[in-house]
Structure 1
Amino acid sequence: MTQKSPNIRRRRLGHVLRGLREEAGLTLDAAAKGAGVPRSTLGRMETAEARRLRHTDLDALADFYEVDPETRGGMHGLAREAKEPGWWSKYKDVFGERALPDWEAEAAAIRTFQPQLIPGLFQTPSYAAAIFRGGRATADENIERLVEARVNRQQILNRVHPPRMTAVIDEAALHRLVGGREVMKEQLEHLGHLAVRHNIDVQVLPYTAGEHLGMEGAFTILEFPEPRDTPITFVETATTGLALETPEELDAYNVAFSNVQGVALSTSLSAKFIDDAVKALEKQT
């Protein structure tokens, strides 16, 4: 299966279609009527919400906008790639429709703030299993599947050109004994090893930092290598994941991340903080 992001391909196609319409000086109603494509269909295509991209609709729009053969071919190419499933598609029951791995697949930079847990991309299998178990009566086979999906997500950190990863982790996440002392010790040692990689920065946000702009919860900002692929902020809730894309939303979360990063410990002091946490657990075992 492909490692390309269908969501990003849909967004690129939407940008092309919206650009053609705006260049022609047309409203959505006028363009839909002129091309003979339902207004709702064109609207969903432009906003990357359309899951079915019909060749007949694309040809009708290409004819109407009188595009050159190269542009027409590019439109169809994006539509084809938007239909190719990534590895995460077989875990739709785990990740949902607008899956975070879909966006991570092509991210050039990932910035995440986590107030309660070690970030998913950094979690050991034992730590992840303990989270999924979470005191609930969950069947072992279901936990295994959830952990397998999470471990597969982490492969982006091992690719030839991995994303630049910056994680600000609240001190609480380092003290919470997820899975017990041995599991937590293994997790913190793993976090310490990741923190020295050339493409990963880990900063601990200590309790002494006081109030900050990340107190409302975890979030992840993803940036992409193509300028036309605008960044997104991904916020996970108890039931789903939200991909926020408006300039106002991005600005707000960029400010929030700058704030938590600014009051967090430096990477070197954070490495010592993590090492001290490991030593404290060693004394307790």
Structure 2
Amino acid sequence: MAGKRTVLTAGLRRLAALLFEMREGVGLSKEEVSGKTGINVTTLYRIEAAQARPQRRTLMTLLELYGVEQERRKYALDLLSDAQKPGMSRPYEANLTEVYSAYINFESEALSARHYQTSYIPGLLQTPQYAGAVIDTSMPKVEAAVMESRVAARMNRATVLSKEEPLELWVVLDEAAIRRVVGGADIMRGQLEKLLLESKRKNVILQILPYDAGAHPGMAGAFTLLDFPEPNDPELVYVEGIAGDELIEGHLEIRRFGVIFDQLRAIALSPRDSVGLIERIAETMH
């Protein structure tokens, strides 16, 4: 069942990386570990790929085999405890894709997010009415209860902007997203007013990429870069697309998206000029 699946969290990814590092450190292959412990090779693969949470006894068996000292053993057990905690996506997972659920969990633990969007207002800045109008266009069509769950998940996500240590959000938004009337003029005007309000937060930077900027490197599609406070947590990129969403890791890939974002924010309007453009467009929504 969808509600029983293991959805990726920062804690689970941290534990998986640690176990891979430990196994590599003692020079054992997965097959050798399986032969010495009786743990299935497929299970070991899923644990090290953060696709499954190890049971406590499985973790203890691996730590014993790897000869892990007490302090590091405690760290691994603490990570397991952390990985067992439900992520922010838990109440909504039955109605969300696995990748999107994982993204919500990572976003809730991130230090900062750099977001580029081409077609619509980013989820963290949406009103419930706008979110419902966007989700209503999904294919295939979803039932009312599923739509309500997805809108609720989106609204709950936005709490990362107002928590004690809020997410630092930098958004570059294509002009098309603020001109396209989604859900009717009233809903769109409310959404633009919400954008103006959110842009006043100290932890939010909003820039509009105007039409007259011409061709640019972000035309291939939307993406989000997440940075984390833990130095052992590598950056992530979340990419949205019709073929499905994707979470990307890897230094070279991350660097490419970082360079693209830097180019986009350099050619976008300043935050002040962006607010002015949004205000002018909002005045036309009657």
Scaled by the length of structure 2, the TM-score of the pair is 0.89
Measure, in 2, the Cα distance between the counterparts of 1:245 and 1:12. Answer: 13
Query: One-letter code of the match for 2:188?
Result: M
* Cα pair 1:6 1:81 within 8 Å, conserved: no
Alpha-carbon RMSD: 2.0
Match of 2:133 among 130, 147, 167: 130
Matched, 1:151 2:152: no
Q: Which residue pairs with 2:3 in the alignment? A: none
What 5-or-longer segments of structure 1 have no aligned partner?
Answer: none
Deviation readout 1:105-161 (Å, 9 max, x if unpaired): 101001111000000000001111111222886544433222112111111111011
Deviation readout 1:37-87 (Å, 9 max, x if unpaired): 33322222222122x412222112111111122322222222232222224
Secondary structure of 1:53's counterpart equals: coil
Measure, in 2, the Cα distance between the counterparts of 1:34 and 1:147. Answer: 48
Q: CA distance change for structure 1 residues 144 and 14 in 2, over 3 Å: closer, same or farther?
A: closer
Q: Which residue pairs with 2:222 in the alignment? A: 218
Q: CA distance change for structure 1 residues 142 and 60 in 2, over 3 Å: closer, same or farther?
A: closer
Q: Which residue pairs with 1:40 in the alignment? A: 42
- Residue 6 of structure 1 and its aligned partner are, at CA, apart by 5.5
Match of 1:168 among 155, 172, 175: 172
* Cα pair 1:115 1:218 within 8 Å, conserved: yes
Q: Which residue pairs with 1:64 in the alignment? A: 65
Measure, in 2, the Cα distance between the counterparts of 1:84 and 1:48. Answer: 15
Alignment of 1:1-285 (within 5 A): 7-50=9-52, 52-98=53-99, 99=101, 100-134=103-137, 138-238=142-242, 240-281=244-285, 285=286
Measure, in 2, the Cα distance between the counterparts of 1:211 and 1:238. Answer: 22
- Residue 165 of structure 1 and its aligned partner are, at CA, apart by 0.1
Measure, in 1, the Cα distance between the counterparts of 2:260 and 2:266. Answer: 10
Measure, in 2, the Cα distance between the counterparts of 1:68 and 1:83. Answer: 23
Deviation readout 1:214-263 (Å, 9 max, x if unpaired): 11111111111001011100112336431111222212211221121121
- Residue 12 of structure 1 and its aligned partner are, at CA, apart by 1.0
Q: CA distance change for structure 1 residues 17 and 142 in 2, over 3 Å: closer, same or farther?
A: closer
Measure, in 1, the Cα distance between the counterparts of 2:67 and 2:244. Answer: 40
Secondary structure of 1:220's counterpart equals: strand
Secondary structure of 2:113's counterpart equals: strand
Secondary structure of 1:225's counterpart equals: coil
Secondary structure of 2:89's counterpart equals: helix
What 5-or-longer segments of structure 2 have no aligned partner?
Answer: 1-6
Secondary structure of 2:215's counterpart equals: coil
Scaled by the length of structure 1, the TM-score of the pair is 0.90
Measure, in 2, the Cα distance between the counterparts of 1:67 and 1:115. Answer: 48
Q: CA distance change for structure 1 residues 35 and 140 in 2, over 3 Å: closer, same or farther?
A: closer
* Cα pair 1:167 1:202 within 8 Å, conserved: yes
* Cα pair 2:9 2:87 within 8 Å, conserved: no
Query: One-letter code of the match for 2:180?
Result: R
Query: One-letter code of the match for 1:25?
Result: G
More displaced 10-residue stretch of structure 1: 155-164 or 83-92:
83-92
Deviation readout 1:182-220 (Å, 9 max, x if unpaired): 111111111011112100000000111111111111111
Q: CA distance change for structure 1 residues 65 and 139 in 2, over 3 Å: closer, same or farther?
A: closer
Measure, in 1, the Cα distance between the counterparts of 2:81 and 2:9. Answer: 12
* Number of residue equivalences: 277
* Cα pair 2:8 2:50 within 8 Å, conserved: no
